[in-house]
Structure 1
Amino acid sequence: MIQHLDVDGVPTLLAPTGGPMRAGLAFRVGTADETLARSGITHLLEHLALAPLGVADYHFNGATAPVLTTFHMQGSEQDIATFLTAVCANLTALPTDRLEVEKEILRTEWSGRGNSIVDSIPLWRHGARDHGLASYPEWGLSALTADDLRQWAARWFTRENAVLWIAGDRIPAGLRLALPAGVRQPVPAASSALPSTPAYFANGSRAVVLDSVVRRSTAASLFAEVLERELFRSLRQEAGLSYQTTAGYDPRGDGYATLRALADALPQKQDAVLGGFVDTLAKLRVGRIEQADLDAAVGKRQDVLGTAEVDAARLPSYAFNVLTGERTLTVEEHQAELKAVTVADLHEVAREVTSTALLMVPDGHRADWAGFTAAPTRSTHAVAGTAYREKEDDGELRVGGEGVSYLGPGGPLTVRYADCAVLLAWPDGARQLIGTDAISMRIEPTMFHLHPDALRMIDAQVPADRRVLMPARDPEHIPQPRSAGRPDRSPARGQRSGATPAKRSWWEIPLMVVSGLVALAIGGPTFLLTLGMFITPTGQDEQWLWGVVVVGWLLTVILALPIVLLRRRRR
């Protein structure tokens, strides 16, 4: 049984355990509460609170998630009391003398972090704000000051915005949670960068991933397990196409949960895996759900609820519910809800999963054939302003009083100043604007016929709290026009973050030239023959000339087609 207690004004949860004592102090604040221009502030504050503790004989750590930050440890009663007391003292009086050191540690941590398959999904669903910030680097670190951190701590790291949980027999003697007074902070509303769902986007990873938003319920959590069983059965056991097939269910704290599923694939099997994945979703959407799969999922969950350690194991999720204001079921209530879930309930969840689905497919693949709409990679409009031509290709940069647009093949890219999530500024003059919809635009002065006043106007229009000064770049990394004898090493324009431009091959231009010459050689005489036949009517014995005209024009179109397709690809 979980007891509700109070320690120095902090709500406290206590449950018995047969193992070593462990505890966690959770605060209702995370990356989703930040802005992109000041991203990393919560993570940095977490590091500063732990830095003075040094090396200890007991295990402790901190974690910053989208809506929660937790300090946790396992050890003796005295160790836990010492640890949590010190954390609260450090949060109240931040050791800012380590500020620059911890910034470097976080930058190193980010640079060494392996790319997860699902890293880019948040920005495609939410854009460059709230829950979408998990996809981006912690660009805000460089600009953060000691005062910024103190203000952040005073707002978020308070006793009213915290919950303490302890797996043990009692509250550790000597524990003090000296936190300032504050208010419980609500979970941020989740934004959307998708005009419609179900949607899809292409990514370079060798996997198919489903991301859906569903109402939080016992039925939805069971559906995740049923979906995993179906994917394992169809894609691994029966077809032998995938090795890893997983599905998970993660409450968001606002009455909804994220449901994700993944199936990996070899390059030559990606088409088959994508087809099998979509077929599995379609099967569940139409209600073809096996009772045996539901029974297995329920039985697995009931086995966990029947263990002696169930209350201690539930403490972190219980604390999450307290902080977010969501209902927590007792073990008995949870068991009753599990038994009440039917195949019809799972069918309803399957329809909800499909209606909100965002599907990530491997590069070079599409999912529109399955009813998914391509997520936008371009803007729907362009701003008015002064136009600056691109030194290469046919692009145009437009800088106005309302925002900045790039006009080129494929549609416009636009970031309005009012919707700019961050402006990255390099000493050499390069700028990158990222809108809240995740549209990203890089402006390289070396690649445009750009007047210096254009950059000054952009800097003046974007609010100061959204600007991030970037470190100087190696001159070799600054893109130059190919005519200058150096390769273009980075994009001079942007797109929806996560999209990848097509690669250019050496043989494209020679093929375009040869196709053009041959098309001209055939098309020119065909045009003259066609013109002559219209001016001078042909006799009965010359009707075969019309066949020559048709064949000539057909060959001309076929030979000109590579030019059109390659030109579009290069753009």
Structure 2
Amino acid sequence: MITELEIGGIPVLHAPATGPMHAGLVFRVGVVDEPLARRGITHLIEHLALHSIGVADHHYNGATGAEFTYFHTRGAETDVVTFLNGVCAALRDLPMERLPVEKEILRTEENSRSGGAGEALALWRHGASDYGVSAYPEWGLSGISADDLSAWTARFFNRHNAALWIAGPAVPAGLDLGLPDGDRQPAPAASSALPVRPAWFPGPSNVVAWDTVVPRGVAATVFSGVLERVLFRSLRQESGLSYTVQTDYTSRADGTALITALADALPEKQGAVLGAFVDVLAAMRLGLIDEADITAVVNRRADEVTRAADTGGRLPGQVFNLLAGQPVLTSDEEFLAELRAVSRADIAALAAVAVADGLLMAPGRTRADWAGYAEAPSRSDFVVDGQAHPQLGHRSSDEPETTLIIGTDGVSLIRGDEPATVRFDRCAVLLAWPDGARRLIGHDGIQVQVEPTLFDGGPAVTAAIDAAVDPESRVTMPARDPDSIPVPQRTPSLAARVRWGYIRNRRLILISLSALAALAIGVVGVYAVGSVVFGDQGLNVLGGGFFMLLISAVYMGSVVHRFGDLMKD
């Protein structure tokens, strides 16, 4: 049984548990709250707050998630009290002198991090806002100041935006959670970069992934478990197409839940895996669900809840509910009764909702149009009005024409017939390099990379962008290696093209020498044959000479034609 109480103005959930005491201090703030230009600020505060704890004999940690940031510890009662009091004291007065060091630590952590299918799905579903921000690096770290940290901490790390859970015999004495006053901060509404759903987008060749957003609840957790069982049976046990098949269920503060599923694939079997994956979703949408699968998932989930009751495992989830304004289930029996009431009709109805909202990552060169999925937009559907800046330099015959347009409302980069546009008032971040390069990322996730060295009037283009974009969205990037800065491809001179042609095809020289030798032999041959055979009959000699020179000229013509082809290339 979970008991609700309050300490220092902070709501607390307590449940008896076996083993060492463990506790978690949770705040309703996460990556979804961060503007892309300040990406990493919550993570930085978490690190600064934990620095004061130092090296300890008991376990402790912190984590910054999508919607919540929490500090967790396990150990003796005195250790738990010392940890929680220390975190709160650090949040009241962050060690700003550690700011440069902690930024470097986070950059190192970022460098070892690799994105997965979940981040790709988040980016395509939400763009560069709220729930899509987690797909991007922590670009904001370099520009975050002590004032930024103080303002963020006051807004989110206060007593009214916090909750505590404790699993142990009783609430320990001596807790001093002296956090300042503030306001409860609701999670932002989820944005959407998908005009139509269900939708698909291209991904790597070795995995199929899918996600959906459904109403949260017990039925959704059962659906996620049933989907994993059916996918595993179809893709691994029956067809042997995949090794790893798994699903994940994540509750959201707005009363919805994100369900993700993936299956790995060999590149040569990507089409087969995609087809089998889509077939499973289609069958569940139609209600073709085995009652035995539902029973197995319900029984397994009930066992997990029963075991969690002994260890306090349900407390973190209920604290998240408390901070999100969702119902807190204090009784395990209440949850178990709802779990056992889930029916086949409930799962079928939820499957229909899930498939209709689905986003599918198709592997490699495969597509999902055939299955009724719309292709997710990868380019803009409009171009701004403004001054056009053509790309400088030589362009090969197979390279599309590229034009940059700078307008009062935004910027468009048109490559061939594919435009990418970012409106200035919808710019999530402007990445600025010292050499003048700029990258604008819109809230829809569309990017425009502007290299001033490649376009007519490049410096003026950079100045116009800087003047139009909100300075709060600007992130200064470190200097690039000069060799990595692109330069226009100039039209080569005649001498250079001759040299290049020689390098590309050395046979040209051999052909040319052969042609000259043939011409010389032809002239000598004409003279010799004419003198011996015809004597002084000059007209006959001259006629034979013209004939042999004609043959040589035809041969030389083929050489010149080949040389011209090389020059065109």
Q: Give the TM-score normalised by structure 1.
A: 0.83
Name which of 429, 432, 450 aligns with 1:443.
450
Cα distance per residue 1:327-370 (max 9 Å; x no partner): 13331121111222111111111111111000011121110010
Match for 1:366: what amino acid? R
Is the partner of 1:309 in helix, strand or coil? Answer: helix
Is the partner of 1:5 in helix, strand or coil? Answer: strand
Which residue does the alignment assign to 1:45? 45
Is the partner of 1:278 in helix, strand or coil? Answer: helix
Cα distance per residue 1:531-571 (max 9 Å; x no partner): xxxxxxxxxxxxxxxxxxxxxxxxxxxxxxxxxxxxxxxxx
Question: CA–CA distance in 1 between the matches of 2:122 and 2:417?
Answer: 24
Asked if the contact 2:270/2:364 (under 8 Å) is kept, the reply is: no
- Which of 114-123 and 259-268 deviates more? 114-123
Is the partner of 1:413 in helix, strand or coil? Answer: strand
1:84 aligns with 2:91: no
The higher radius of gyration belongs to 2
Match for 2:111: what amino acid? S
Asked if the contact 1:18/1:309 (under 8 Å) is kept, the reply is: no
Name which of 460, 464, 475 aligns with 2:471.
464
1:26 aligns with 2:33: no
Match for 1:473: what amino acid? R
Match for 1:288: what amino acid? L
1:455 aligns with 2:462: yes
Which residue does the alignment assign to 1:488? none
1:419 aligns with 2:426: yes
Question: CA–CA distance in 2 between the matches of 1:315 and 1:13?
Answer: 7
**Structure 1 residue 302 displacement after superposition:** 1.4
Which residue does the alignment assign to 1:534? none
**Long gaps (5+) in structure 1:** 486-508, 511-571
Cα distance per residue 1:461-519 (max 9 Å; x no partner): 1011000100000112112234489xxxxxxxxxxxxxxxxxxxxxxx99xxxxxxxxx
Question: CA–CA distance in 1 between the matches of 2:282 and 2:310?
Answer: 36
Match for 2:480: what amino acid? R
Asked if the contact 2:205/2:270 (under 8 Å) is kept, the reply is: no
Which residue does the alignment assign to 2:404? 397
Question: CA–CA distance in 1 between the matches of 2:94 and 2:22?
Answer: 25
Question: CA–CA distance in 1 between the matches of 2:106 and 2:205?
Answer: 25
Question: CA–CA distance in 1 between the matches of 2:308 and 2:94?
Answer: 40
Change (3 A) 1:231 1:468: same
Alignment of 1:519-534 (within 5 A): none
Cα distance per residue 1:17-55 (max 9 Å; x no partner): 111111100000001011001111100000110112221
Is the partner of 1:281 in helix, strand or coil? Answer: helix
Question: CA–CA distance in 2 between the matches of 1:356 and 1:483?
Answer: 49
1:339 aligns with 2:346: no
**Structure 1 residue 204 displacement after superposition:** 2.0
Which residue does the alignment assign to 2:437? 430
Match for 1:412: what amino acid? P
Which residue does the alignment assign to 1:554? none
Question: CA–CA distance in 2 between the matches of 1:285 and 1:308?
Answer: 32
Asked if the contact 1:2/1:311 (under 8 Å) is kept, the reply is: no
Cα distance per residue 1:278-325 (max 9 Å; x no partner): 010111111100000001011111112333735711000010000001
Asked if the contact 1:378/1:410 (under 8 Å) is kept, the reply is: no
Match for 1:341: what amino acid? V
Is the partner of 1:275 in helix, strand or coil? Answer: helix
Change (3 A) 1:144 1:419: same
Match for 2:444: what amino acid? D
Which residue does the alignment assign to 2:247? 247
Alignment of 1:79-478 (within 5 A): 79-204=79-204, 206-307=206-307, 309-310=309-310, 312-329=312-329, 330-391=331-392, 392=395, 393-478=400-485
**Structure 1 residue 116 displacement after superposition:** 2.1
**Structure 1 residue 408 displacement after superposition:** 2.3
Asked if the contact 1:127/1:192 (under 8 Å) is kept, the reply is: yes
Question: CA–CA distance in 2 between the matches of 1:413 and 1:129?
Answer: 18
Asked if the contact 2:452/2:461 (under 8 Å) is kept, the reply is: no
Is the partner of 2:150 in helix, strand or coil? Answer: helix
**Structure 1 residue 121 displacement after superposition:** 1.4
Asked if the contact 2:205/2:267 (under 8 Å) is kept, the reply is: no
Match for 1:137: what amino acid? P
Cα distance per residue 1:233-262 (max 9 Å; x no partner): 000000000001101211111010001111
Alignment of 1:557-568 (within 5 A): none
Which residue does the alignment assign to 1:553? none
Question: CA–CA distance in 2 between the matches of 1:142 and 1:79?
Answer: 35
Which residue does the alignment assign to 2:67? 67
- What is the root-mean-square deviation of aligned Cα atoms in Å? 1.5
Cα distance per residue 1:358-400 (max 9 Å; x no partner): 0011121110010001100110100011100012441110001
Match for 1:164: what amino acid? L
Question: CA–CA distance in 2 between the matches of 1:304 and 1:237?
Answer: 25
Asked if the contact 2:17/2:310 (under 8 Å) is kept, the reply is: no
Match for 1:110: what amino acid? E
Cα distance per residue 1:74-133 (max 9 Å; x no partner): 111111111110100110101000001111111110011133232221111011011100
Question: CA–CA distance in 2 between the matches of 1:307 and 1:36?
Answer: 40
Aligned length: 487
Question: CA–CA distance in 2 between the matches of 1:351 and 1:324?
Answer: 27
Match for 1:422: what amino acid? V
**Structure 1 residue 206 displacement after superposition:** 1.2
Which residue does the alignment assign to 1:57? 57
Question: CA–CA distance in 2 between the matches of 1:157 and 1:170?
Answer: 25
Asked if the contact 2:156/2:185 (under 8 Å) is kept, the reply is: yes
Question: CA–CA distance in 2 between the matches of 1:43 and 1:129?
Answer: 17
Alignment of 1:504-519 (within 5 A): none
Question: CA–CA distance in 2 between the matches of 1:470 and 1:176?
Answer: 41
Question: CA–CA distance in 1 between the matches of 2:114 and 2:195?
Answer: 31
Cα distance per residue 1:119-153 (max 9 Å; x no partner): 22111101101110000001111111001101110
Cα distance per residue 1:191-212 (max 9 Å; x no partner): 0010010001011251100110
Cα distance per residue 1:442-476 (max 9 Å; x no partner): 11112222342221111011011000100000112
**Long gaps (5+) in structure 2:** 493-503, 506-569
Asked if the contact 1:241/1:269 (under 8 Å) is kept, the reply is: yes
Match for 2:324: what amino acid? T
Which residue does the alignment assign to 2:546? none
Question: CA–CA distance in 2 between the matches of 1:205 and 1:39?
Answer: 29
Is the partner of 1:289 in helix, strand or coil? Answer: coil
Cα distance per residue 1:44-70 (max 9 Å; x no partner): 000110112221111111000111000
